[in-house]
């Protein structure tokens, strides 16, 4: 029964399983994608896993590392997804794997609230050092990004004695009840799942590509602030929660000045400014945290995804006086800050420092930026190239307009998959192609992955600039 789910595993001459960075770093297809073993597994998946859990590419994975994922049929795919910005240090990164292996043999769980252990404390110390600002900071560790966002809101409410929370158009903050209310997009995240939590208000985002007329960041912030003051009232507002670069919503980079203006307004009115850096954090955008780009110092910051090399861990980190406003016992959970996940985080953070993955992210950003701009030159269906560091995207539209073309984005995505490149789409309109490679991917593999994306635009029949000029 188990041999078929392990098919395609590669071993060295001693029979040791290859995984992590020891995997050959190449794109290599031996079957169609997905292959026969994956298809058989997918039939079992369909019979046993809730239909509510969908899969982007049903190629079942046997090993992964560096810039590749290897499926059970033996196909080696280029990874431009990193499990949605999670395996930034690479899959099965040596320091993560070693830390986990050591910890899992020592002890696996005590519940930090019952009897504590040092790993939890050490992760909180690292978070205090690495997050923006030199003020005294404290943290709480949790299991998922959504749980971190929920806790950040709980903490802000206790600290301010106020109820309201402001979020933005196109925001994504998770799938739990409170975070569904905070997430903007209905399908698939919210549809039919209500009623939603109250006291969540949505403000207009700065989305330069879709503004009817160019508007500066400070003006876009003023627009949001006016709405907040008129519809909510600062005296009722506990927190503003914002992704410094929006993730699922379409890799939307607000105009320069937007974030600092919001942050200053929050400070002036005693509102907690919460940066949701769950997708942007831990070197992804070329800094440890995306807020640093404009010198913004959030009161609270939520982290997850890239923090622990693939193990489930999340955190809320922030001003000590805000974090300590909560009564003893008010925060926690059975698994929050699990010792194995903490060991993984310490290994991942050490790897980020040692390999200077923030610099790697900037380098990846240069390669992606160059290639994606070339692509946009050729294909007028690409309305905009945007993002920062190793978090970049292209927005696909009908040529010469801002009308979203999700159909073309989907077609290109499927072609990339069948050619052995793992790509992702996102966006309120489903028309944004996002690139989130592991930060340890080598340059040649990244270039090859992007070349396949380029070929996929041609194969999908996207008109070139010349052709669309002829058509008019």
Question: Taking the complex as a whole, how short is the minimal distance between the CB of residue 266 and ligand PLP, in angstroms?
Answer: 18
Binding string, residues 240-279; x marks residues near ligand PLP by CB under 6 A: ---x---x----------------------------x-xx
Shortest gap between Cβ of 316 and ligand PLP (angstroms)? 12
Name residue, tokens 């039939």.
Answer: 43
- Of 276 and 384, the one with the shorter C-beta distance to ligand PLP is 276
Q: Report which DSSP code applies to 121.
A: H
What φ, ψ does residue 99 adopt, rounded to 5°? -60, -45
Compute the least distance from the CB of residue 371 to ligand PLP, in Å: 24
Smallest distance from the beta carbon of 357 to ligand PLP, in angstroms?
18
141 touches ligand PLP (CB under 6 A)? no
CA angle 298, 304, 309 (to 5 degrees): 130
Question: What tokens were used for 293?
Answer: 């780009």
Residue at token pair 């003006």? 219
CB-based closest residue to ligand PLP: 145
- Site for ligand PLP, residues 204 to 243, rule: CB under 6 A: 243
How far is Cα 336 from Cα 110, in angstroms, rounded to an integer? 11
Told to check if 91 binds ligand PLP by CB under 6 A, we report no
Residue 288 CA to residue 79 CA, distance in Å, equals: 22
For the chain, give the number of residues. Answer: 472
149 binds ligand PLP (CB under 6 A): yes
Q: Which tokens belong to 316?
A: 């809320």
Residue 253 C-beta: closest distance to ligand PLP, Å: 14
- Is residue 185 near ligand PLP by the rule CB under 6 A? no
**61-65, strands of its sheet edge to edge:** 61-65, 68-71, 76-79, 421-422
Indicate which single residue of 97, 124, 146, 232 sits in contact with ligand PLP (rule: CB under 6 A). 146
Instruction: Let me know the angle formed at the C-alpha of 176 by 304 and 110, rounded to the nearest 5 degrees.
Output: 55
Using CB under 6 A, which of 60, 117, 120, 172 touches ligand PLP?
172
| 61-65 vs 68-71, strand pairing mode | antiparallel
For residue 341, state whether it binds ligand PLP (rule: CB under 6 A). no
Contact between 83 and ligand PLP by CB under 6 A: the answer reads: no
> Rounded to the nearest 5 degrees, what angle is found at the Cα of 300, between the Cα atoms of 296 and 301?
75
Hey, which residues between 277 and 306 contact ligand PLP (CB under 6 A)? 278-279, 304-305
The one segment of 91-99, 155-163, 169-177, 363-371 that binds ligand PLP by CB under 6 A: 169-177
Output the smallest distance, CB 388 to ligand PLP, in A: 15
Q: CB of 395 within 8 A of CB of 386?
A: yes
Site residues (CB under 6 A) for ligand PLP?
144-146, 149, 172-174, 243, 247, 276, 278-279, 304-305
């Amino acid at each position: 029964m188990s041999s078929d789910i392990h098919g395609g595993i590669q071993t060295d001459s001693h029979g040791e399983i290859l995984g992590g960075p020891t995997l050959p770093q190449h794109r290599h297809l031996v079957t169609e994608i997905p292959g026969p073993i994956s298809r058989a597994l997918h039939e079992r998946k369909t019979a046993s896993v809730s239909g509510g859990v969908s899969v982007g590419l049903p190629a079942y994975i046997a090993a992964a590392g560096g810039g590749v994922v290897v499926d059970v049929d033996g196909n080696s795919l280029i990874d431009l997804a990193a499990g949605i910005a999670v395996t930034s240090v690479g899959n099965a990164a040596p320091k993560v794997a070693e830390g986990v292996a050591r910890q899992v043999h020592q002890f696996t769980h005590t519940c930090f609230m019952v009897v504590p252990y040092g790993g939890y404390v050490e992760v909180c110390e690292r978070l205090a050092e690495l997050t923006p600002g030199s003020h005294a900071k404290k943290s709480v560790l949790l299991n998922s990004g959504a749980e971190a966002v929920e806790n950040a809101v709980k903490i802000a409410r206790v600290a301010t004695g106020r109820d309201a929370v402001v979020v933005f158009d196109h925001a994504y903050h998770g799938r739990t009840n409170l975070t569904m209310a905070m997430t903007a997009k209905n399908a698939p995240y919210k549809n039919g799942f209500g009623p939603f939590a109250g006291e969540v208000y949505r403000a207009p985002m700065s989305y330069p590509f879709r503004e009817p007329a160019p508007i500066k960041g400070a003006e876009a912030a003023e627009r949001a602030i006016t709405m907040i003051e008129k519809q909510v009232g600062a005296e009722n507002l506990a927190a503003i929660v914002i992704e410094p670069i929006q993730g699922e919503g379409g890799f939307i980079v607000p105009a320069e000045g937007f974030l600092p203006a919001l942050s200053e307004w929050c400070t002036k009115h005693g509102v907690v400014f919460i940066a949701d850096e769950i997708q942007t954090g831990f070197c992804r955008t070329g800094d440890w945290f995306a807020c640093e780009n404009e010198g913004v110092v959030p009161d609270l910051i939520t982290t997850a995804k890239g923090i622990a090399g693939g193990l489930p861990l999340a955190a809320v980190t922030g001003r000590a006086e805000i974090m300590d406003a909560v009564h003893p016992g008010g925060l926690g959970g059975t698994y929050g800050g699990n010792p194995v996940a903490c060991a993984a985080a310490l290994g991942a953070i050490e790897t980020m420092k040692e390999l200077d993955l923030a610099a790697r992210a900037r380098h990846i950003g240069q390669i992606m930026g160059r290639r994606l701009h070339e692509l946009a030159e050729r294909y007028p269906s690409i309305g905009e190239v945007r993002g920062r560091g190793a978090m970049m995207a292209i927005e696909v539209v009908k040529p010469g307009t801002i009308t979203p073309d999700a159909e073309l984005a989907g077609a290109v995505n499927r072609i990339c998959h069948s050619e052995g490149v793992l790509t992702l789409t996102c966006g309120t309109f489903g028309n944004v192609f996002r690139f989130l490679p592991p930060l340890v991917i080598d340059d040649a593999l990244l270039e090859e992955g992007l070349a396949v994306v380029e070929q996929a635009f041609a194969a999908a029949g996207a008109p070139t600039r010349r052709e669309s000029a002829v058509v008019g």
